[in-house]
């Protein structure tokens, strides 16, 4: 792995408690962890990382841990994407399934999927019993590199699934920078959108994801790659954003103007409380969904600029 400074291992997860008092027992709360880091072009080492950090997240009582886009292989690794591609139920899934079951925690990870001789940029969500909940294929590919290697998924939105009583929708990188995917997921009932990414732009981590959370009145967990991989410099800045647009938790590695520290491995853990009074107040004062005029929008569905 290439970086400006020797990588530092963060051995203690960052724990951020967001509830100021004990909530009612029926209030939907999720403890979520996200991991920022990984190795380039080494599936086995990345799976060892996953195993270690899943155990740490589970020890903090997290119900879900999230890993970045193409976590198992690396992103800017060229033909290694093809070499290490697997079916959705392949050896990597089998290993993740066991890790999830052993630690009683749901796991979301990005990987290169091979299906019918086509390569997809995919995200797999496995539940705490090791069963697959959803396998999503990235529908919006970014730039010539992705179009060279991947076929776009042709189904959106992916099914909304429930983890720890929270309804979750999935996006991958460029998907979340489009306006429509997040809105569609929210209209389908998603309370938390999880977007895994391999992004070089701090603007997305600092502005875009906050806007998507606020305008769709849902929580958004954005998990990005960090560090230099074959001349692409990924900016990190993984975060959890509340439905009012506030940052609830952020990785300390880089992002802000792209000049933060190069922290190679970082686990962040935080609580999502769906019904905190300030979140409810923001939703009530910004009734986006109530005031929409969808009957006026249909003419633009197939418009291209």
**How confident is the model at residue 29, as a pLDDT?**
87
Q: What is the rounded CA–CA span in Å between residue 71 and residue 198?
A: 9
**How confident is the model at residue 289, as a pLDDT?**
84
Percent of the chain with pLDDT over 90: 75
Of the pLDDT bands very low, low, confident and very high (cuts 50, 70, 90), residue 224 is very high
23 pLDDT above the threshold of 70: no
**How confident is the model at residue 2, as a pLDDT?**
35
Q: What is the rounded CA–CA span in Å between residue 15 and residue 32?
A: 10
Torsions phi, psi of 195, nearest 5?
-115, 115
Catalytic residue among 68, 171, 173, 221: 173
Residue 88 is a catalytic residue:
no
Residues 251 and 237 sit within 8 Å (Cβ to Cβ): yes
Per-residue tokens: 51: 């195993």
Catalytic residue among 68, 86, 113, 138: 138
**How confident is the model at residue 304, as a pLDDT?**
57
| Nearest of 186, 225, 238 to residue 14 by alpha carbon | 238
Residue 221 is a catalytic residue:
no
Residue 235 is a catalytic residue:
no
Catalytic residue among 68, 69, 146, 239: 69
pTM of the model: 0.88
5 pLDDT above the threshold of 60: no
**What is the SS3 assignment for 176?**
helix
Q: What is the rounded CA–CA span in Å between residue 271 and residue 170?
A: 19
Residues 176 and 193 sit within 8 Å (Cβ to Cβ): yes
Residues in Cβ contact with 246 at an 8 Å cutoff, skipping those fewer than 6 apart? 210
Residues 68 and 225 sit within 8 Å (Cβ to Cβ): yes
Q: What is the rounded CA–CA span in Å between residue 133 and residue 156?
A: 16
């Amino acid at each position: 792995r290439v970086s400006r400074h020797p990588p530092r291992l963060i051995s203690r997860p960052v724990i951020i408690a967001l509830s100021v008092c004990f909530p009612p027992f029926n209030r939907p709360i999720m403890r979520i962890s996200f991991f920022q880091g990984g190795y380039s072009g080494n599936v086995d080492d990345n799976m060892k990382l996953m195993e270690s950090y899943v155990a740490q997240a589970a020890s903090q009582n997290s119900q879900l841990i999230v890993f970045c886009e193409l976590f198992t292989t690396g992103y800017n690794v060229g033909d290694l994407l093809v070499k290490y591609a697997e079916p959705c139920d392949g050896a990597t899934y089998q290993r993740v399934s066991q890790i999830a079951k052993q630690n009683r925690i749901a796991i979301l990870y990005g990987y290169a999927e091979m299906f019918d001789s086509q390569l997809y940029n995919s995200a797999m969500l496995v539940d705490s019993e090791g069963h697959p909940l959803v396998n999503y294929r990235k529908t919006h590919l970014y730039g010539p590199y992705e179009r060279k290697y991947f076929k776009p998924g042709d189904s959106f939105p992916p099914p909304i699934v429930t983890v720890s009583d929270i309804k979750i929708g999935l996006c991958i990188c460029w998907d979340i920078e489009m306006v429509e995917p997040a809105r569609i997921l929210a209209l389908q009932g998603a309370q938390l959108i999880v977007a895994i990414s391999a992004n070089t732009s701090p603007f997305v981590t600092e502005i875009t994801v906050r806007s998507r959370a606020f305008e769709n009145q849902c929580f958004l967990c954005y998990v990005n790659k960090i560090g230099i991989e074959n001349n692409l410099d990924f900016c990190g800045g993984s975060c959890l954003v509340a439905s009012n647009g506030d940052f609830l938790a952020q990785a300390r590695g880089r992002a802000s103007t792209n000049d933060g520290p190069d922290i190679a491995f970082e686990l962040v853990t935080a609580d999502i409380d769906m019904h905190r009074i300030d979140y409810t107040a923001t939703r009530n004062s910004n009734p986006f969904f109530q005031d929409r005029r969808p009957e006026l929008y249909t003419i633009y569905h197939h418009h291209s600029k």
